[in-house]
Structure 1
Amino acid sequence: MEPLAFDYEDLHLRGDRGVFELFDLGSAGHAFRVPPRWLGALAHYKSAHYKKPEKPGELFFGVVRDPNAALYGTDRLAFRFAGSQAVRVPPGDEPLFRAYFTQVAALAGRRVV
């Protein structure tokens, strides 16, 4: 089976053989690896987003406290810790990340919010 890969600006995301990897080439080559069972991706848009729809939100990657939590969602309390710096994502691009993480979640037997 081919790895699930997604490229966005300086980010390269890859899910393959039971490991999710994030490479942030814009952040001094920061990398993050975790089994998809424990992966959490959080899209966060502040309430001001509704007043300024062009304002980017933040996307965090980390480890969840409970592997039954949504793999992709909006609950900060589900995180044990964040494993990367926040990535700025315009609201119009959030569906690209949601689509990718929906595929990763399906392979890991997890859900998205």
Structure 2
Amino acid sequence: MAVRMPSNFGQSGHGDDAPDVLGFEILAEKAASLGRAGERVEAALARLRKGGAEERAVLLKAAAEAVHAYFIQRELCGLRRHDAAIREYDIPKAVLARLGAR
């Protein structure tokens, strides 16, 4: 993924004023990865909500795995509290119970 540096980073040619390009790229990739993980959560939860009773166990497991991966990615981005994400995605208690949440 190509990322353009913000225009407020001046480049004077000196080593101490140079922006941390690698750090910026890492942050951009973390954000993109978090977005992809969120999309997988949305898709898994949509399948769970539309699925029938006969496939519920399989869909619950898939949703729990997607939510678990999303939570890990959030923590890698420095976001430790998941309450807002749980509300935003409307993650069912059955999925959270599979993650060990109370």
TM-score, normalization: structure 1? Answer: 0.29
Higher relative CO (Cα under 8 Å, sequence separation at least 6) belongs to 2
More strand by share: 1
More helix by share: 2
